[in-house]
A and B are shown apart, each in its own frame.
Chain A
Amino acid sequence: MDRTAKRAVALATVLIGGAALTGCAPTGSDGDVVTLDFWGWGTGQKEQVAAFEAEHPDIRVRHTDAGGGDDSAAKLLTSSRAGNAPDVALVEYTTLPALVVAQVPRDVTELVTDIDDDFTEGTWAQTTFGGVVYGVPQDAAPMVMTYRTDVLAAAGQEVPTTWEEFADAARAVHEQDPDAVLASAPGGELALYAGVSAQAGAEWWSVEDGVWTIGIADERSLEVADFFEQLADEGVVDTGPLLSPEYNARVNDGSIAGWIAGIWAPSVLAGVAPDTSGNWAMAPVPQWTPGDTGVPFQGGSAMIVTENSDHPEEAAEFVRWMNASEGGSQSLIDDRLTYPASIVGQELAETGAPPSLMPDQADFWQVAADVSTDVVPVTWGPNVSLAKTVFTDELNAAISRGTPWRDAFVATQEAVVADMEKVGYQVRTSDR
């Protein structure tokens, strides 16, 4: 090989090497200071991190906004497979099982064993699978009804406490103003129907002795489908997508007068329609049986330490401080505007001012604390994301074709069972 050929090889080596090198970023300790990578999303995280760093001079945290929801779970899976996941990540409860199966989060049972008393059992169960703890809950999202007090009053209705009363109130609101609906029941909201079905007693995923039971097409879930289908047929709930420009315009003009969702809903609505502040209030979600108090979760997230992390102890310290300490909880309330999952955080929240959407509702946090005392436990399965896409497509198709909504629940169950059987789980369906 002559000189020029050697140079060509050298050039090629540099090109390939350069391409490979750009994929790596330095992480780890610099002297005695440990640097952690942290992926999250949403408001107030920079402030949270700053508050943590102020108390921990030997730990630096590099924060990245990974987008949130299903997208950030997918990013986390991919980066973990490539061996460069961040040390700490925020994940939604719904995506945690899929991440556990892919061995993204580390078993932190030993590292957080002393803080499990800081959470209620129902909350702690969201991050524990078969006795192994995979994360620490950050925010709790009990399902509530956020509604326009003026619209409900104009229709001459009291705040509904049962779904029966909710249906009547929705009809009255629609009769008062044919353009108005009391709430939305969109095809894309698996979590809404899963929560309301759980409240009715259905378990969409459950596992015992290694055998999974799927109850998406459980008789109680199907009755939930019938209930909302009936209201949609009458035109008293809206089925259009949430938070589209169309939806936002209707929230602003008051023709969408409520939202059944997690307790985070008021802060979302305040962002969409700040001018309507003061006309809203929050109430516990309606019940199927009068006198019941069980409330399901909708949404909410936990923080995990990854299997990839080189500094699990420092990462665990960060996770503990962010979610279970007094300072961290205060930051969750003030900067992140969420309802903390920890008991200390929920107590701190009670003394705070109500959200900007309902500045006059003095008992907002008291109501939140009350509904959080009787949480309906929900187990999510390893293929929630698949269920979400099938459910969304099937229910939207049923809505636009006018076919029974329960067919969408059945189709989702079939797809979920087929997928779980294909990958190797033992699965059966709930008989009731």
Chain B
Amino acid sequence: MTSTSTPSRAADGGALRPEVVHPVRTGRAPRPAGRRRVPVAPYLFVAPAVVLFVVFMLVPLLYTIWSSLRAYRIELGTSVLGVRVDRFVGFENYAAVFQDAELLASFGRLAVYGLIAVPLTLGLALLFALLLDVPAVRAKRFSRTAIFIPYAVPGVTAALLWGFMYLPLTSPFSYVTEALGWGPVPFLEGNGLFGSLANIAIWGGVGFNMIIIYTSLRGIPTDIYESARLDGASELQIALRIKVPLVVPALVLTGVFALIGTLQLYGEPNTLRPLTTDITQSWAPLMTIYRDAFLTDDLPSAAASSTVLALGTVLLSALVLGIANRKRSEAAS
């Protein structure tokens, strides 16, 4: 499009012409006379985001904190059952959260689960990404899709699918072990549960993390590899000495995602719960919150635990990112 081919537009005047903006405006410099207009366009552009943030984030957040300071109490009146009223109780709910041994134990279970799931997910994702990045590897597109596909399976579906493979009567693994006379595999009992739950998360999560790391690998200029090869480095040495250090930012990112995902564990244990007696209603912190909010109708307790969990998640993520950044700046200096 040229100006000669659209004379009418050009004749409209300045509408299409970008305004001349001073690239750098020092604080003291007086504004040019006649240009006293308040710049509204930026506000207009951010307005939808701000409105959505306020309506769907800030207001619910403040409401949650407000509810967490209240509690339902009974006032015995004319009815034998009494009537429930909503009262301000200060930090009583928070005190109860921190004294709840079962809730603390559920964080312990999360830690065990996380210690299995997070390193394995990231390790496998890194391994697959590095393998796909080796020039000699064939059928890359197919392998990449095959590894990624489990991520496209909805979490509940994946949990149900694995649930059937864990149950003694329907499990193909237990079918084999029983045929060999070893009895069914205790997938859903005792400590076997941690591995079984982590397996679902690893199965679903490796593909997604692999794509992030692989994308980061593709962004590395190839001349680095060429000079390494000229210096006589093997593909393994290139992978360990060059590629891995260069994708550390991607690893930190996926690590933080995995950490947050672990703290928010809910779908898998909740879906497997009807299949086994070893997953309690308070197995993971979010399950306790769900129970309080939607089964025992103690919304204020759920609000208090949610606030604690959210704050803990933010602090932990900040801590991990802070450590990673310091390590990196130390390495750089």
Contacts and interface: CB of A to CB of B under 8 A. Distances in A.
Interface of A: 2, 4-5, 7-8, 11-12, 15-16, 19, 70-71, 74, 77, 97-98, 100-103, 129-130, 132, 186-188, 207, 210, 239-241, 243-246, 249-250, 382-383, 385-386, 388-389, 392-393, 396-397, 399-400, 423-425
A102 B84 contact: yes
Interface centre among B43, B47, B170, B189 (most CB of A within 10 A): B47
Contact of A400 (B52, B170, B277): B277
A319 B19 CA distance: 70
A5 B43 contact: yes
Interface in B257-300: 274-278, 280-282, 291, 294-298
A383 B82 CA distance: 13
B62 interface: no
Interface of B: 37-38, 40-41, 43-44, 47-48, 51-52, 55, 71-76, 79-84, 163-164, 167-170, 189-190, 274-278, 280-282, 291, 294-298
Given A101-B82, A389-B281, A396-B280, A424 B297 contact: no
A241 B280 CA distance: 12
Contacts of A4: 40-41, 44
A172 B165 CA distance: 33
A11 B47 contact: yes
Given A101-B74, A249-B170, A424 B51 contact: no
Contacts of A241: 274-277
A423 B297 contact: no
A396 B277 contact: yes
A244 B76 CA distance: 42
A388 B296 CA distance: 9
Contact of B167 (A16, A244, A383, A389): A244
B86 to A, nearest CB: 9
Contacts of B168: 246
B47 A12 contact: yes
A15 B55 contact: yes
A395 to B, nearest CB: 9
A101 B80 contact: no
Given A132-B79, A241-B277, 19 more contacts: A5-B38, A5-B40, A11-B47, A19-B55, A74-B294, A101-B74, A210-B76, A240-B277, A241-B276, A244-B274, A246-B170, A385-B296, A389-B295, A389-B296, A392-B280, A393-B280, A399-B277, A424-B75, A425-B76
Contacts of B41: 4
Nearest to B168: A246
Contacts of A397: 280
5 contacts: A239-B277, A241-B275, A246-B275, A393-B282, A400-B278
A207 B164 CA distance: 45
A8 B295 CA distance: 42
Interface centre among B38, B71, B82, B163 (most CB of A within 10 A): B82
Nearest to A209: B80
A399 B297 CA distance: 27
Contacts of B298: 386
A102 B73 CA distance: 10
B229 to A, nearest CB: 55
Contacts of B276: 241
Nearest to B102: A393
Interface centre among A8, A130, A188 (most CB of B within 10 A): A8
A2 B38 contact: yes
A132 B295 CA distance: 26
A249 B296 contact: no
B83 A101 contact: yes
Contacts of B278: 396, 400
A98 B295 CA distance: 11
A16 B51 contact: yes
B79 to A, nearest CB: 6
A203 to B, nearest CB: 15
A400 B277 CA distance: 8
A249 to B, nearest CB: 5
A74 B297 contact: yes
B296 A423 contact: no
Contacts of A100: 79, 81
B81 A97 contact: yes
Contact of B297 (A5, A77, A400): A77
Contacts of A130: 79-81
10 tightest CB-CB pairs across the interface, nearest first? A130-B80, A396-B277, A424-B74, A393-B280, A386-B296, A4-B40, A74-B294, A389-B281, A8-B44, A423-B74
Nearest to A98: B297
B200 to A, nearest CB: 16
A292 B117 CA distance: 56
Nearest to A71: B294
A132 to B, nearest CB: 7
B73 A424 contact: yes
A400 B279 CA distance: 11
A70 B296 CA distance: 9
A104 to B, nearest CB: 10
Nearest to B47: A8
Contacts of A101: 74, 81-84
Contacts of A239: 277
A412 to B, nearest CB: 13
A4 B82 CA distance: 55
Contacts of A15: 48, 51-52, 55
A8 B43 contact: yes
Contacts of A210: 76, 80
Contacts of B79: 100, 129-130, 132
Contacts of A7: 44
Contacts of B44: 4-5, 7-8
A74 B76 contact: no
Contacts of A97: 81
A149 to B, nearest CB: 24
Given A12-B51, A103-B84, A383 B280 contact: no
Contacts of A425: 74, 76, 82
